[in-house]
Structure 1
Amino acid sequence: MFTQQMHKTNKVILEPLNYEHLKGLYKAGQHPKIWEWVLSNYTKTPEQLKEWFTTSAQFNKKEQIVFAIIDIASKEVVGTTRLFRLDAHNLSAEIGHTFISHHWQQTYINTHTKYLLLSHAFDALNLVRITFNTHEQNQKSRNAITRLGARFEGVAYKDRLLSDGSYRSTAKFSIIDEHWQSIKLQLEEKL
Structure 2
Amino acid sequence: MLEATILETNKIRLEPLSYSHLEALEKVGKDDVIWRWVPSKYCQSPEVLRNWFEQTAQFNAKEQLVFAIIDTATNSVTGNTRIFRLDETNLQAEIGHTFIGVEWQRSHVNTHAKYLLLRHAFEHLGLVRIEFQTHEQNHKSRSAIARLGAHFEGIHLKNRKLPDGSFRNTARFSITDEMWPEIKSRLEEWL
Give the TM-score of the pair, scaled to structure 2: 0.99
Aligned to 2:126: 126
Q: Distance in 2 between matches of 1:56 and 1:150?
A: 27
Aligned to 1:162: 162
Q: Distance in 2 between matches of 1:44 and 1:145?
A: 26
Q: Which amino acid aligns with 1:126?
A: G
Counterpart secondary structure, 2:34: helix
Aligned alpha-carbon RMSD (Å): 0.6
Counterpart secondary structure, 1:178: coil
Number of matched pairs: 191
Deviations 1:89-109 (A, max 9, x none): 000000011000011011110
Aligned to 1:12: 12
Counterpart secondary structure, 1:131: strand
Residue identity over aligned pairs, in percent, reads: 60
Deviations 1:92-142 (A, max 9, x none): 000011000011011110000000000000000110000000000000000
Counterpart secondary structure, 2:85: strand
Q: Which amino acid aligns with 2:3?
A: T
Q: Distance in 1 between matches of 2:38 and 2:95?
A: 14
Aligned to 1:91: 91
Equivalent positions of 1:1-191 (< 5 A) are 1-191=1-191
Q: Distance in 1 between matches of 2:159 and 2:101?
A: 26
Deviations 1:137-178 (A, max 9, x none): 000000000001100000001111111222110000000000
Q: Distance in 2 between matches of 1:88 and 1:161?
A: 26
Q: Which amino acid aligns with 2:88?
A: A
Q: Which runs of 5+ in 2 are unaligned?
A: none
Give the TM-score of the pair, scaled to structure 1: 0.99
Q: Distance in 2 between matches of 1:133 and 1:55?
A: 22
Runs of 4+ in 1 over 4 A off after TM superposition: none
Q: Which amino acid aligns with 2:65?
A: I
